[in-house]
Amino acid sequence: MESLNYKMFGCFTRKFRISEAEPPADVKEAFTRFAGRGSTHMSAYQFLRFLVEAQEEDGCVASDADRIIHQLIDRRQHVSKYAGHGLTLDHFFHFLFFDDLNGPIRSQVHHDMTAPLQHYFIFTGHNSYLTGNQLSSDCSILPIIKALERGVRVIELDLWPNSAKDDIHVLHGRTLTTPVRLIKCLESIREYAFIKSPYPLIITLEDHLTSDLQAKVAEMVTQTFGERLYYPESGCLEEFPSPEALKHRIVLSTKPPKEYLESTPLKESGNSSLPERNSTDEEALGEESPDLTDEPDPDDRNDTDHDEEDSDGCERKSCQLGAPQYKHLIAIHAGKPKSGLRAALRVGIDKVKRLSLSEKAFEKAAASHGTDVVRFTQKNILRVYPKGTRVTSSNFKPLTAWMHGAQMVAFNMQGYGKSLCLMHGMFRSNGECGYVKKPDFLITKGANNEVFDPKASLLVKKTLKVKVYMGDGWRLDFSPTYFDTYSPPDFYTKVYIVGVPADVAKKKTKVIEDDWAPVWNEEFTFPLTVPELALLRIEVREHDRSEKDDFGGQTCLPVSELRPGIRAVPLYNKKGDKLKSVKLLMRFQFV
């Protein structure tokens, strides 16, 4: 037994006892089932049977079981000596609570990585250089580094001339954000690009440069990245390479500059030091197109994210050559609708491309011709970015974009909240390498050339059963008075399914009062029509009668990656950083 002392009103002390958590009944039953009734130890062979039969670890062999036992005993030596007879119930229980030995999802890359890039969801950042809000925060290499350390595979940089017009700054244009030099961003990318994942790092550029500065960018990237920079010798790609083929390569993506035949005078602008914005920049895509709507959306009128479609809005003095050396380095060409979005979505083109839409333009496209969007993403890349009114760097719900096959759902990685939690959850898939193979139904066509219809009603394909046994670790990660000044916390767990509309659900356990190691033993059932796109979001809260309930940790897990059996589920703070000790013990079953 441990105890905690709470000083009340400075005059007396109240003592709360904290007992070691007891194994749940299901854990005791599993131990008895595999060790044998009346046995106090589980042999290595019996433990292997548990791993294969109960945890469905099909590839597990005797040497794996021996290795796990020795790792476990090494960690528990300070508590109890190992007599060599096998695992006790105490050892077995603690094994279940080690997430590195018994985690809820696989930690290795296991998807097929040889398909073309458009067959993957790709972990994508938006305005990756911003430290805070979209209007006045500092631009820095630090958020770029943090994103790469987390496994982000698409970094966005906005390129603008400096005041002397002899260098390139990265900043959010026409705002009060303070700039950072492009060369510093490129050097940080070179150093950290593959620290988390070996698969290709794509840099999307929003280009507002003159041709001479574009030439300077070409020189910078070739000198900084050297042989790691990938670009097709023949110019525009006819099909995208695979993540496997592009391992440890850096890829540029933007709209190639045009080669103008004659100079065009610089348009008048409210800010003479900045190039004039192109009148057909991205947030207007789908606003003025009769394919989508007759009225512009007020949310997008103030959109300050011009994206890479502005590259031909540069100062056009001496722009005749269009910086050919720069154009040559652009491997993934971005385009924009010239005759309405529906025309741009038509497939059958001989070159592959990338199209970017604001979340509002995408919502309209999905509502009016969703299957055209799905068909487009089977050959090309679609990027969806936050609308311009998200000045606080908030994010949108990503599921609709994924349902339509959008590969690059661009997020503000500093915009902490439920949406970013979902993004982190999706990219815990496939060993957190930043590339998640899309479900087959988003990649293939039917017998009559039909594609997946996100609006179609589907039958339940699989049912997920989730049992929340207990939680522990808060007493190690939080101070004794963090949740309540005078008593232990009152924890409850919320369990959500986020996915296609038919699958969305939420459940909640009862509140366990005054316990640092709450035991709930509650099971929830979730029927799923599209389990391939479902995410399991878990959040622990501490009940407070007088104020808002306190946050006690969260996680989000891809349902398609869940490992059956009794598992240790680590929780994360609001920023998505893993809490050192806090875990839930849960069971996952598919029926």
| Separation in Å, CA 35 to CA 45, 82, 91, 291 | 9, 17, 13, 66
Whether the CB-CB separation of 208 and 274 falls below 8 Å is answered with yes
Selecting among 91, 94, 126, 424, the annotated active-site residue is: 126
CA–CA distance, 93 with 77 (Å, rounded to integer): 15
Give the closest residue to 569 by CA, choosing from 549, 547, 585: 585
Q: How far is CA 213 from the centre of its chain?
A: 33
Give the closest residue to 413 by CA, choosing from 428, 427, 388, 395: 395
Sign of the Cα pseudo-torsion (486, 488, 489, 490, in order)? negative
Is 70 a residue of the active site?
no
Buried-exposed string 523-556: b where 16+ CB fall within 10 A, e elsewhere: ebebbbbbbbbbbbbbbbbbbeeeeebbebbbbb
- Tokens 């400096």 belong to which residue? 162
Is 126 a residue of the active site?
yes
Q: What does the CA dihedral 91, 94, 96, 97 come to, rounded to 10 degrees?
A: -170
DSSP 274-285: SPPPPTT-GGGT
Which secondary-structure segment (H or E) carries 463?
strand 462-472
Give the closest residue to 344 by CA, choosing from 313, 309, 320: 309
Quick one: residue 393, left, alpha or beta (phi over 0 = left, psi -120 to 50 = alpha)? left
Selecting among 172, 208, 306, 333, the annotated active-site residue is: 172
CA–CA distance, 314 with 337 (Å, rounded to integer): 19
Q: What does the CA dihedral 33, 36, 40, 41 come to, rounded to 10 degrees?
A: -90
CA–CA distance, 15 with 6 (Å, rounded to integer): 6
Q: Is 441 helix (H, G, I), strand (E, B) or coil?
A: helix
Name the token pair of 449.
């050339």
The catalytic residue positions are 126, 172
